[in-house]
Amino acid sequence: MRKRFISVPVKLLVLVMGALLLLTTIFSYLSLSRLNQEFTQYQSDTLRKGQAQFSVQNNVLRQKILTWLESFSDIVRLKEQANFDVLAQEFAAQFDTLQMNQNVENVWLVSASNEELYLSNAIPKFVQLSIENVLRHQQPEHTLYCEGQCVQLITIPVLNGKGDMAVVAMTVSLVDMIFYINQALDNELAVVSFSRVDKLVSTTINEEAIILADARFISSTNTQLVSELFMSNQEIVNSEMINSQGIKATANDSSYLINLIPIANTRDDFYYLALIDDATIFTDKYQQNRWQFLIFTLVVLIALVIVVHFVASPFTRRLLVLSDVLPLLAKKEFDRFRQTDLQRNGKYIDELDILANAATELSFELEQLNIEIEQKTKELESIAMYDLLTGLPNRNMLNYQLRKAFFNVSRSDGQIAVLFLDLDDFKKVNDSHGHTDGDKLLIQAANRLRSSIRRVDMACRFGGDEFVVVLGHIDNENDAVLVAEEILEAFKEPIKIQNSLFYVSTSIGIAFASEKMTKSEDLISCADIAMYEAKDDGGAKYHIYHEEMYKKVALRVMMESEVRQALAKNQFSLSLQPQLDAKTKKLYGFEALLRWQHPERGMVSPEDFIPLLENSQHMVELGYWVIRRCFELCQTFIDKGLTDVRIAINLSAGQFADPHLTPYLTDLLTEFSLEASHFELELTEQTLVKNIDSAIEMMNGLRDVGFSFAIDDFGTGYSSLAYLKKMPVDVIKIDKSFVFGMLENRADYQIIMSTIAMVKNLGLQVIAEGVETSAQLRSLTENDCDIIQGYYFSKPIPETKLMEFIDTKIVNGYWKVSAL
Ligand code: C2E
Ligand code: CA
Ligand code: CA
């Protein structure tokens, strides 16, 4: 849900306003209650003053009447008279003046025997009761009496000269009293009466409740105002309210407080003296107070809004600026971020300055981090794409570039070629000089490679001592050949590492992308196949891939799987070809030659499968099978009485490099209880030169046990006679290719003759193989060749026919001459 935005100043304002409202409410409540208190005080004060005035004026009135009566009695010398006649006469005479001066309304003089001595008027009931009371108690009495009108009734006992008592009763109007109270209090007064409110009107009010509007005015200082005040007020008030609060009323836009002082009650009516105070001053004050407060609040509010605005706006503005520019950090626009002015030029700093500082610092740190990440990414990329040792692009880059080249070439007329390079005999350098020198050599080889190619071409390190050159744009196949030749030329110069010179050549396989070959991996493996061909061909040359190569490889792969099955199915056997002493025709021994009886292809020649399997693990396995079989055959020979016959076993290069060979052979010696002198191990020159040092070491070990060694196919390889001196060799086998043409070809003849001479010179034996004719035999025998092997005597004899052969052809260890 999307949240609504309320800015901080607005929130602040709402908060402040809330607080202000609360304060205002509290203040107004407090000041109102103070005002109320003041008013209540004022009301009770006025009430008290009114009551005091009322009782004072009451007393004054009474006192005046009493004083007047005393002096009047004296004047009429009542104390000297025996009756009250004079008094009665004088009352009658003075009644008018009395009425005028003293506001006396009526005067009654009644004797103790209830004789009516003077009556200004008939005696009303209440006066009669008062007179009887006074006569009974012989004490003066005064009461306020209201019945339609209100009067002060003063009843005083008087005595004549004889001591007889009479009672004077006077009713005095309240006009004077009201006048005096009015004078004293300076407020309007009225005597009002109310009827008792019928209980039906309200059940909640007590009996002393009145309705203001029902007021009847008996006398008043300001009749108009008073009547207006009461008439407009329909309120029902009870006595308690009257006493505690007074009554508030309004008239002529003024406020008044009415205090009611009860003066008399009758059965039907209440009589009150109403004190009317102008309370306008209070309400005005109240109003004024309220206005003042309101204005004050408003002013404070406006001030606050302004203050909040001025204080918070820059704050929020800066916050907004910051929130605007912060995303720049994510976009890595650090400079733009820092160009934004986040700082103020104030004297003091605040939280936002700290935040801005932190953000700036963060930008620097992020920038640094970003630089580091970019650097690391580059490093990672180069690790992923470049070879650390030589600095050449690696296999990943090769695949990438090759794919790119494939893509580009499909849009142009150019052609792609791949050169697969493998340094010849690099392993020897590594083994003899250690890996550090090996690495240095690789670096220099890489440099040579780099300088032999065009800028547009790319040389990669494929792994180990293998390199691949991609020629992304060549016009014809010859261009690739030129590059290969250039490279071969560059490698002719020896590489110098410290003080040693290394002659490192390289074998190159060239493959061209064709329509059939659309995958970069295929192109590389084709070049690889061609490279192997070049290597097999002696190395230091290039070979161009063609489909035959692939077929060969495919055949090899097929062979490899078939050999394993053939071993399990016992399809292998040996044929043995006898070797005879040239002069004596004594049986020297047999060469064991492998045969494969293939269920479909018939007899498969070792020349067809052994070269294919050369160096493979299958060949090694097969080789061990051959060795064991030779041991078994040797056992049979011995059993047959041929105790000094030796068997020549062909060892493949892979097998000879296998560390298990020596223990395997010695174990077999123990197992068959045979002498090692029964066996001659044949090694080709190629096998020997592959790793001359370890070959010599291995030969020495086996020779110590008693095995002898023959160099097979002598003359076809590079091995020089210098090697022969170093090696523990017993026999040299002159290759059959020389023997075949020895009598026709002068060079072959010369090679054979000089080889025989030299070998003999070294104290070794010579075997000539491939001897097919008696002429060859004669020539070789005459020239001191030791041993003869060839069809002239016998083709290789299958194992099964071996015993039969020995029986028919060998007599006492010698060739049966008659059989020829
Ligand atoms: P190789 O070691 O030079 O063996 C001699 C080859 O010359 C044999 O061929 C043999 O039959 C043939 N040969 C002997 N005398 C004559 C002759 O007068 N005229 C002609 N035309 N050929 C003659 P094979 O048996 O076909 O063997 C071929 C090669 O296969 C051998 O050459 C050897 O390198 C390899 N090989 C045979 N058996 C084994 C084996 O058990 N282990 C290994 N590693 N290689 C073997
Ligand atoms: Ca051989
Ligand atoms: Ca041979």
Q: What is the pLDDT of residue 279?
A: 81
Q: What is the pLDDT of residue 204?
A: 52
Which class for 412: exposed (0-12), middle (13-18), buried (19 or more C-beta within 10 A)? exposed
* 717 inside domain: yes
Q: How many angstroms does the Cα of residue 719 sit away from the middle of ligand 1?
A: 20
Side chain identity, residue 139: Q
Of 529, 545, 561, the residue at which a domain comes to its end is: 545
Domain that holds residue 265: 187-278
Do 436 and 366 lie in one domain? The reply is: no
Query: What are 688-713's pLDDT values in tens digits?
Result: 877 788 889 999 999 999 999 999 99
**Is the distance from CB of 117 to CB of 169 less than 8 angstroms?**
no
Q: Relative to the alpha carbon of 623, which ligand is closest? A: 1
Atom of ligand 1 nearest to the CA of 651: 44
Burial 578-592 (b: 16+ CB within 10 A, else e): bbbbbeebebbbbbb
pLDDT average, residue stretch 461-469: 94
Residues pairing with 216 in the sheet: 193
Tell me the three state secondary structure of residue 47: helix
Minimum-distance ligand 1 atom for the alpha carbon of 789: 15
Query: Distance between CA 515 and CA 513 in Å, rounded?
Result: 7
Same domain, 374 and 426: no
Please give the distance, rounded to the nearest whole angstrom, from the Cα atom of residue 769 to the centre of ligand 2: 9
| Domain-embedded: residue 118 | no
Which residue has tokens 């309007």?
188
Q: Note the ligand closest to the C-alpha atom of 789.
A: 1
Ligand 2 centroid to Cα of residue 615, in Å, is: 17
Structure token digits, residue 85: 């006649």
Q: Which residues pair with 5 in a beta bridge?
A: none
CATH of the domain at 787: 3.20.20.450
Give, as one character, the DSSP assignment of residue 676: G
Sequence-distant (≥ 6) Cβ neighbours of residue 401 within 8 angstroms = 393, 458, 460, 470, 472
pLDDT digits (tens, 9 = 90+) for 723-779: 778 889 999 999 999 999 999 999 999 999 999 999 999 999 999 999 999 999 999
Task: Give residues with Cβ within 8 angstroms of 669, minimum separation 6.
Answer: 675, 676, 705
Q: Give tens-digit pLDDT for 52-65.
A: 888 888 888 888 88
Render pLDDT for 609-629 as a digit per residue (tens, 0 to 9).
888 887 778 889 999 999 999
Task: Say yes or no: 607 and 746 in one domain.
Answer: yes
Residue nearest atom 23 of ligand 1, based on CA coordinates: 770
Q: Identify whether residues 532 and 575 lie together within a single domain.
A: no
Q: Are residues 368 and 244 in the same domain?
A: no
Strand locations in 412-488, DSSP E? 415-423, 458-463, 466-474
Amino acid at position 491, single letter: F
Tokens of 570: 């016992």
CA dist., res. 703 & res. 697, Å (int): 10
Those residues with Cβ within 8 angstroms of residue 584's Cβ, 6 or more apart along the chain or in another chain: 814
> Which stretch of 373-377, 505-509, 761-765 has the lowest confidence by average pLDDT?
373-377
- pLDDT digits over 73-92, tens only? 888 888 888 888 888 888 88
Please check whether residue 549 is in contact with residue 528, taking contact to mean a CB–CB distance below 8 angstroms: no
Q: Which pLDDT score, from 0 to 100, does residue 509 have?
A: 96
Q: Which residues contact 820 (CB under 8 A, 6 or more apart)?
A: none
Instruction: Flag whether 114 is in a domain.
Output: no
Rounded Cα distance, 295 and 308, in Å: 19
Mean pLDDT of the chain: 87
Mean pLDDT for 794-819 is: 88
Question: Same structural domain for residues 535 and 615?
Answer: no
Decide which of 519 and 684 is more confident. Answer: 684
* Spatial separation of the C-alpha atoms in residues 419 and 403, rounded to whole Å: 16
Quick one: which H or E segment has residue 497? strand 495-497
In terms of domains, do 455 and 510 share one? Answer: yes
Q: How many domains, the chain?
A: 4
| Structural domain includes residue 35 | no
Ligand 3: centre distance to CA 794 (Å) = 15
Whether residue 380 is predicted with pLDDT greater than 70 in this model: the reply is yes
Task: List the residue whose alpha carbon is closest to atom 42 of ligand 1.
Answer: 650
Residue 670 lies in a domain: yes
At residue 583, the pLDDT reads 94
Q: Which helix (H) or strand (E) holds 639?
A: helix 617-639
**Ligand 3 centroid, distance to 732 Cα (angstroms):** 10
Distance CA 772, CA 740 (A): 8
| pLDDT at position 283 over 80 | no
Q: Cα–Cα distance between 283 and 285 in angstroms, integer? A: 5
Based on the fold, state whether residues 360 and 431 are members of the same structural domain.
no
For the record, the structure tokens of 31 come out as 């000041």
The residue count of the chain comes to 820
How confident is the model at residue 480, as a pLDDT? 94
Question: What pLDDT is stored for residue 808 in this prediction?
Answer: 93
pLDDT-above-70 percentage for the chain: 96
Helix 8-75 / helix 85-102 crossing angle, nearest 10 deg: 150
Please check whether residue 175 lies inside any domain of the structure: no
Q: Which of 736, 780, 797 to mutate to test the pocket of ligand 1 (most atoms within 8 A of CB)?
A: 736
Q: What is the pLDDT of residue 200?
A: 44
Is the confidence at residue 35, as pLDDT, over 90? no
What pLDDT digit, counting tens, does each position of 308-348 carry? 888 788 888 888 888 888 898 888 888 888 888 877 777 78
Verify that 666 and 738 share a domain, yes or no.
yes
Q: Which of 574, 650, 712 has most ligand 1 atoms within 8 Å of CB, for mutation?
A: 650
d(C-alpha 189, C-alpha 179), whole Å: 8
Query: Is 72 a domain residue?
Result: no
Q: Does pLDDT of 1 surpass 70?
A: no
Q: What is the pLDDT of residues 197-237, one digit of tens each?
A: 664 454 454 556 777 788 888 888 888 888 888 887 777 77
Which atom of ligand 1 has the smallest separation from the CA of 733?
Answer: 3
pLDDT of residue 347: 78
For residue 525, give the CATH number of its domain: 3.30.70.270
> What is the rounded average pLDDT of the residues 411-419?
82
CA 353, 354, 358, 359 torsion: positive or negative?
A: negative
Q: Other CB atoms closer than 10 Å to residue 623's CB: what's the count? A: 23
Distance CA 230, CA 575 (A): 156
| CB-defined site of ligand 1, < 6 Å | 577, 592-594, 605-607, 610, 623, 626, 650-652, 712-713, 736, 769-772, 790-791, 796
Rounded Cα–Cα distance for residues 596 and 603 (Å): 6
Question: Which of 258, 278, 298 finishes a domain?
Answer: 278
Distance (Å) from CA 565 to ligand 2 centroid: 25
CB 542 within 8 A of CB 485: yes
143: part of which helix (H) or strand (E)?
strand 141-147
Boundary of a domain, candidates 503, 529, 545: 545
Q: What is the reported pLDDT for 205?
A: 46
- Atom number of ligand 1 nearest to Cα 575: 25
pTM of the model as a whole: 0.50
Mark whether 413 and 537 lie in a shared domain. Answer: yes
CA–CA dist 660, 614 (Å, integer): 17
Residues 680 and 606 in one domain: yes
Give the pair of three-digit tokens for residue 657.
Answer: 């490099």
Per-residue pLDDT band at 718 (split at 50, 70, 90): low
Alpha carbons within 13 angstroms on the beta-carbon side of residue 143 total 16
Model confidence band, residue 820 (pLDDT cutoffs 50, 70, 90): very low
Give per-residue pLDDT as tens, 386-409. Answer: 998 999 999 989 988 888 888 877
What would the pLDDT profile of 249-282 be if each residue is shown by its tens digit?
888 788 888 888 888 887 778 888 888 888 887 7
Domain annotation covers residue 579: yes
Give residues whose Cβ lies within 5 Å of ion ligand 3: 712-713
Q: What are the tens digits of pLDDT across the range 633-684?
A: 999 999 988 898 899 999 998 899 899 999 999 999 999 999 999 999 999 9
Q: How high is the pLDDT of residue 46?
A: 83
Distance 684 CA to ligand 3 centre (A): 8
Can you tell me which atom of ligand 1 is nearest the CA of 772? 18
CA-to-CA separations, 614 to 194, 425, 536, 789, in angstroms, rounded: 145, 17, 11, 25
Please give the residue that has the higher pLDDT: either 445 or 248.
445
- Assess whether pLDDT exceeds 80 at residue 527: yes
Same domain flag for 448 and 335? no
Q: How far is it, in rounded angstroms, from Cα 681 to Cα 688?
A: 12
Q: What tokens were used for 664?
A: 């395997």
